[in-house]
A and B are shown apart, each in its own frame.
Chain A
Amino acid sequence: MDEMDFRPSAAISLGVELELQLLRAHDFDLSRGAGDLLALLEKRKLPGAVKPEITESMVELNSSVHRHHGSLRDELAVMRDAVVKEAGVLNLRVAGGGSHPFHDWADRRIFPTGRFRSILERYGYLAKQFTVFGQHIHVGCPSGDDAVYLIHMLTRYVPHFIALSAASPFYQGEDTLFQSSRLTSISAFPLAGHMPFVRDWAEFLEYYDKMRGFGIVASMKDFYWDIRPKPEYGTVEIRVCDTPLTVQRAALLGAYAQALVAYHLQERPRAPARAVYLVNSFNRFEASRFGCRGELVEPYESRRKKIGADILETIETVMPHALQLDGADALTELAADVRHGYSDANWLLECHTVRGSLPDVVRESAARWSGTPPDAR
């Protein structure tokens, strides 16, 4: 079977990938313990999978496929506990968050596999600066054409996912003033951006074959798009989220994506529009910089709105679908966070103000990820 054949998957099924930070216990800088950690985890029976990522400072949790975000959350919690426990044996800590607040990118070492080495060779320092941590959300699609349609639809909501997941205000030891600084490191890659405005799967394949013919890409993996189709899983993959600080929030984001997909697949409220891509980089910047307090340009109505307000409206619109997917609680929780101005980025900023140093922020963030109560202040 051709790797580009779209294998239909159960519509609106849900799965996530979480890239995690591995930290040294003594100074909370990034460690390089991925190899040892993965070797220990191999001995355990776990749901999902834990995989190496581009540098030895990260591992990736892959969930299995779920129908509801509740079971996804429970599975992620099991995986998290196992990873935290085995990391403890090696005196490593694990944390979420989209960036490590103060690591020096030049210290990073590439995980020794052929693919990662070739990325380093090709992209130079970009590859090491790529030590950022994202959540990828997969939602199942019945066909390639549906995937193309969904990508055009979901692109409008890219700023939502950025704002809701934002957890990388610090980068290279500085407060970037961004809610999510992580996306900037990804934008530097030549194949970052978005899928072209194709009408259906056939047209997408035409484009893909051309790019392969030019020798620009070797596989779908070479596109670092915000949202891309994943034919071998039969999913669309939303890739703009920072890894949140908790598995709970990772599951909430999954629930939101699932409800959005259900709404668009079942109601088909809009047709794809080029205007979405005209405003995309502006909206994306606003969301990365200001989070929910930023403004987006609504491409269908050609007007500006607060991102937070737009999220709340959208949640209301998709709520009936969330109800059917057991996701209503999740969306209510997300909406409450938006109203209260909560974001993981703000939590990290607040932690920095209270604690006074970035290693403290990382320590607290690791404790939060592990689900242990914070230390006495």
Chain B
Amino acid sequence: MDLSFLPQLPFALSAPIMFGALLAAGLLAGEAANRYASLPRITGYALAGVALGPQLSGLLSSEVLHALSVLIDLSVGLIVFELGFRFDWAWLKRNRWLLVTAVAESLFGFGAIFGALAYFGFEPVLAASAAAIGTATSPAVVMLVAHELRAEGQITERALLFTAVNSVFAYVALTLLLPLLHIELQVGWLEALLRPLYILGGSLLAGAAACMLMLALARWLGKREDRQFVLLVAMVVLTVGVARSLNLSVMIALMTLGVLARNLDRRHVLMPLRFGYGGQLFFVILFVLTGAGLEFGAWATAAGLVATLLVVRFLGKGLAILLFGRLSGVRTGGAGLLAIALLPLSGLAVGMVRDTSELSPAFGKELAGILLAAVAISELLGPLATQFALRRAGEADPGARGG
């Protein structure tokens, strides 16, 4: 009998099988974390990733993770776009102290980490690069916890705004520091300058071009939420793809797209944005994959340093918000909650550390490991912090089944 119509076993794990399985695993882990441990669902997604990842079971190998990195970029792209789309210049104009607070929050966070690293004897340029990377709050965690809790109010809005500002700050600061690393490595001046210029300028241009195209198309499509939603996803995916192909920064390009879309749309052709269930798919995958990629290696050896960095970062940010927050209309007690909400380190740091390490092996293995360990710990605990802060601020919807 000819049984060749039957598949060869074991059959290959195709992309749809991987995608579906990750989605289901993340979903179930998120729900379980929420039901049985009152944890945010996001923590459950990330835990599922850790379990499947190379560090534990190895079901997801590093190669597979690398192959799936486009999914991470797409999800981060959607989130960063939304973050940018909520960034309102008009608000900063009406409330100048807000911009001061946001910038101070970034600077103080940077200064605190830099100071601690310098104290522990790290090279200034390395310490500054690490501090830049460490300043960023995770857009994904803050945005998704806010979504999950259906949180709304001043603390939530500011947490999102500050996250947008410190993410851009981190990326720009790091890009500007790179030439210094290059010079230490005695790479040519020209290359050292051109590289950051290309990345920043190119990402801005890509985002701006995508924005112009999107506005023109939206105008032609008219005010229909369903069509505009598809357009929006199309433009975000397209921009992510272009940024990847041209070796640009996905984060800066998508942030530019979002911010410009909000602030250049003078004719108001764009409808308000709701990602809804569609976005949820990407976000589950994002956290599962981020979880799988987490590295706890340095945690064992440098727990004290990692913890110190997280604490001084919190204190730096908290101090800035405490000093200027009141002037920008943060209510009493709000500064502390805001600083807690901003605790989650950005998963973008993983990419930044890799980029930097590739460029400069001098970016000490130790320092990279410490940052990655800090990211790992805060990917898991960060959502709890943000959730606690938004709940405590009374901005979570009591009816929303958050963690």
CA–CA, A26 and B261, complex, Å: 12
A100 contacts chain B at the CB level, 8 A cutoff: no
Contact with B along A344-377 (1 / 0, CB 8 A): 0000000000011101100100000000000110
- Among B262, B273, B397, point to the contact of A109 (Cβ < 8 A): B397
Say whether chain A's binding surface is mostly helix, strand, loop, or mixed.
Answer: loop
Instruction: Take A25-B88, A25-B91 as given contacts and tell me if A360 and B157 are in contact as well, using a CB distance cutoff of 8 Å.
Output: no
Instruction: Take A26-B86, A375-B266, A376-B267 as given contacts and tell me if A89 and B152 are in contact as well, using a CB distance cutoff of 8 Å.
Output: no
User: How far does the Cβ of B154 sit from chain A's closest Cβ, in whole Å?
Assistant: 5
Chain B, residue nearest A112 (CB):
B394
Chain B, residue nearest A363 (CB):
B268
Contact with A along B386-403 (1 / 0, CB 8 A): 000000000101100000
User: How far does the Cβ of A37 sit from chain B's closest Cβ, in whole Å?
Assistant: 10
User: How far does the Cβ of B104 sit from chain A's closest Cβ, in whole Å?
Assistant: 18
Contact (Cβ within 8 A) B331 A27:
no
Contact (Cβ within 8 A) A33 B153:
yes
Contact (Cβ within 8 A) A26 B272:
yes
Within 8 A of B (CB), among A22-51: 24-29, 31-33, 36, 39-40
Contact (Cβ within 8 A) A355 B266:
no
Chain A, residue nearest B86 (CB):
A26
Contact (Cβ within 8 A) B152 A27:
no
B18 contacts chain A at the CB level, 8 A cutoff: no
User: How far does the Cβ of A27 sit from chain B's closest Cβ, in whole Å?
Assistant: 3
Chain B, residue nearest A30 (CB):
B152
CA–CA, A90 and B222, complex, Å: 30
Chain B, residue nearest A27 (CB):
B272
Within 8 A of A (CB), among B153-183: 153-154, 157
Contact (Cβ within 8 A) B272 A36:
no
Contact (Cβ within 8 A) B95 A91:
yes
B223 contacts chain A at the CB level, 8 A cutoff: yes
Q: Kindly list chain B residues whose C-beta atoms are within 8 Å of the C-beta of A26.
A: 85-86, 88, 262, 272
Contact with A along B263-303 (1 / 0, CB 8 A): 00011100111100000000000000000000000000000
A88 contacts chain B at the CB level, 8 A cutoff: yes
CA–CA, A369 and B252, complex, Å: 37
CA–CA, A363 and B268, complex, Å: 10
- Among A27, A36, A376, point to the contact of B329 (Cβ < 8 A): A36
- Among B91, B95, B153, B398, point to the contact of A36 (Cβ < 8 A): B153
Chain A, residue nearest B269 (CB):
A356
Q: Kindly list chain A residues whose C-beta atoms are within 8 Å of the C-beta of B3.
A: none
Instruction: Take A356-B222, A357-B223, A376-B267 as given contacts and tell me if A91 and B157 are in contact as well, using a CB distance cutoff of 8 Å.
Output: yes
CA–CA, A357 and B224, complex, Å: 8
Contact (Cβ within 8 A) A91 B88:
yes
Within 8 A of B (CB), among A57-110: 88-91, 107, 109
CA–CA, A133 and B9, complex, Å: 67
CA–CA, A107 and B274, complex, Å: 15
Q: Kindly list chain A residues whose C-beta atoms are within 8 Å of the C-beta of B86.
A: 26
Contact (Cβ within 8 A) B329 A90:
yes
Contact with A along B80-92 (1 / 0, CB 8 A): 0000011010110
Q: Kindly list chain A residues whose C-beta atoms are within 8 Å of the C-beta of B365.
A: none
- Among B88, B223, B262, B274, point to the contact of A356 (Cβ < 8 A): B223
Within 8 A of A (CB), among B120-153: 150, 152-153
Q: Kindly list chain A residues whose C-beta atoms are within 8 Å of the C-beta of B153.
A: 32-33, 36
CA–CA, A160 and B255, complex, Å: 52
Contact (Cβ within 8 A) A25 B90:
yes
Contact (Cβ within 8 A) A359 B271:
yes
User: How far does the Cβ of A301 sit from chain B's closest Cβ, in whole Å?
Assistant: 48
User: How far does the Cβ of A173 sit from chain B's closest Cβ, in whole Å?
Assistant: 11
Contact (Cβ within 8 A) B91 A91:
yes
CA–CA, A16 and B31, complex, Å: 51
Chain A, residue nearest B90 (CB):
A25
User: How far does the Cβ of A32 sit from chain B's closest Cβ, in whole Å?
Assistant: 6
CA–CA, A150 and B65, complex, Å: 78
Contact (Cβ within 8 A) B331 A36:
yes
Instruction: Take A26-B88, A32-B152 as given contacts and tell me if A359 and B95 are in contact as well, using a CB distance cutoff of 8 Å.
Output: no
Q: Kindly list chain A residues whose C-beta atoms are within 8 Å of the C-beta of B150.
A: 107
User: How far does the Cβ of B243 sit from chain A's closest Cβ, in whole Å?
Assistant: 24
Q: Kindly list chain B residues whose C-beta atoms are within 8 Å of the C-beta of A33.
A: 153-154
Chain B, residue nearest A86 (CB):
B329
Contact (Cβ within 8 A) B268 A88:
no
Contact (Cβ within 8 A) B95 A88:
yes
User: How far does the Cβ of A356 sit from chain B's closest Cβ, in whole Å?
Assistant: 4
| Residue picked from A39, A89, A107, A363, most chain B C-beta under 10 Å | A89
Q: Kindly list chain B residues whose C-beta atoms are within 8 Å of the C-beta of A25.
A: 88, 90-91
Q: Kindly list chain A residues whose C-beta atoms are within 8 Å of the C-beta of B262.
A: 26
Chain A, residue nearest B268 (CB):
A360
| Residue picked from B267, B272, B273, most chain A C-beta under 10 Å | B272
Chain A, residue nearest B155 (CB):
A36
User: How far does the Cβ of A207 sit from chain B's closest Cβ, in whole Å?
Assistant: 40
Q: Kindly list chain A residues whose C-beta atoms are within 8 Å of the C-beta of B85.
A: 26
Q: Kindly list chain B residues whose C-beta atoms are within 8 Å of the C-beta of A355.
A: 223, 268
B interface residues, Cβ below 8 angstroms from A: 85-86, 88, 90-91, 94-95, 150, 152-154, 157, 222-223, 262, 266-268, 271-274, 328-329, 331, 395, 397-398
A/B interface sample: 25 pairs, CB < 8 A: A24-B152, A25-B88, A26-B86, A26-B272, A27-B272, A27-B274, A29-B272, A32-B152, A36-B329, A40-B329, A88-B94, A88-B95, A89-B95, A90-B154, A91-B88, A91-B94, A91-B95, A91-B157, A109-B398, A356-B223, A357-B223, A359-B271, A359-B272, A360-B223, A363-B268
A interface residues, Cβ below 8 angstroms from B: 24-29, 31-33, 36, 39-40, 88-91, 107, 109, 355-357, 359-360, 363, 375-376
Known contacts A40-B329, A89-B328, A89-B329; 17 further A-B pairs (Cβ under 8 A): A26-B86, A26-B88, A26-B262, A27-B272, A28-B272, A29-B272, A32-B395, A36-B329, A39-B331, A88-B94, A90-B95, A107-B150, A355-B223, A355-B268, A357-B271, A360-B268, A376-B267
